[in-house]
Amino acid sequence: MKLFICFLTVLFLFLGGCRPKLAPTENSIVPNTPADTPLPKGGTEQTGENAVEYERKVITTADFAKAYDSIDVLWEDAALIIEGAVINTELFIHEAGDDAVPYTLFEVEAANKYKGSAAPGDIVLAAGFGGILTAEQARLDKKFPGMSDREKAERICISWGDTPIREGQTLLLFLSDTEGYQILDIDRPYYMLVGEFQGKFILDGQGFYVQDLPPSERGGRQPLIF
């Protein structure tokens, strides 16, 4: 899959002396520290008790087989369309040959259903690419045997560059569990986002759901609004 190729290419650059520059965010702390001091934190992806810090941020890109640039097309390909609040998240590491690719599993308590089989109050398990894991969990120590224990323990935030999924978010989700979407070895029913970030909409301050396009996608098209 092109996704895995791009993912590995970025990680090779990450550990090969050409590390991607951390894009500044409101939570980023990137001080100029000597080599013998603790690694600076790259940022946080959640707040409060669920805060998870990381040292490095890797933005992944891929050529998608289908660009979802209309609600009608998303609607057609989705088996389930719901809005609701994220009540739990966890990291899932997908084994793809010799590679380990992070996904975020998240449970959503449905508030409204627009398509498919779900009722208000139902808990839906979904999966989206990306997450925070150590270099060792990503098996980079196998590709780079000379890594120190410190490098193995580095936490890496890997994502498309879209908004991380976190507890408390209110989302509109276009999901599918049909053939081709069940790529993760999970022992319970789950859905995956249609078109990855293209099937995730975040509630804005005016009550609209806005498609969560990463910065790399915004130059070519405007995010959809529901």
Evaluate if residue 41 carries a pLDDT over 90: no
With respect to residue 86, please indicate whether it lies within any of the assigned structural domains. yes
> Is residue 31 in some structural domain?
yes
Section 135-155 average pLDDT = 92
Say if 79 falls within a structural domain: yes
Q: What is the total count of domains within the chain?
A: 1
| Residue at 226 is within a domain | no
pLDDT by residue (tens digit) across 59-92?
998 888 888 999 999 999 999 999 999 999 999 9
Please measure the distance between the N-terminal and C-terminal CA atoms of the chain and give it in whole angstroms: 30
Nearest to 175 by CA among 118, 98, 97, 100: 118
Distances (CA, A) of 19 to 12, 47, 89: 9, 26, 28
The answer to the question of residue 10 being in a domain is yes
224, part of any domain: no
Task: Judge whether 223 lies within some domain.
Answer: no
Residue with tokens 């405007």: 222
| Mean local confidence (pLDDT), 99-106 | 95
Residue 137 confidence (pLDDT) above 70 = yes
Q: How confident is the model at residue 224 (pLDDT cuts 50, 70, 90)?
A: very high
pTM for the model stands at: 0.78
Please report the pLDDT score of residue 109 as a whole number: 98
> Does any domain span residue 225?
no
Domain that holds residue 95: 2-218
Is residue 215 packed enough to be buried (19+ CB in 10 Å), middle (13-18) or exposed (0-12)?
exposed
Whole-number Å distance between alpha carbons of 182 and 178: 7
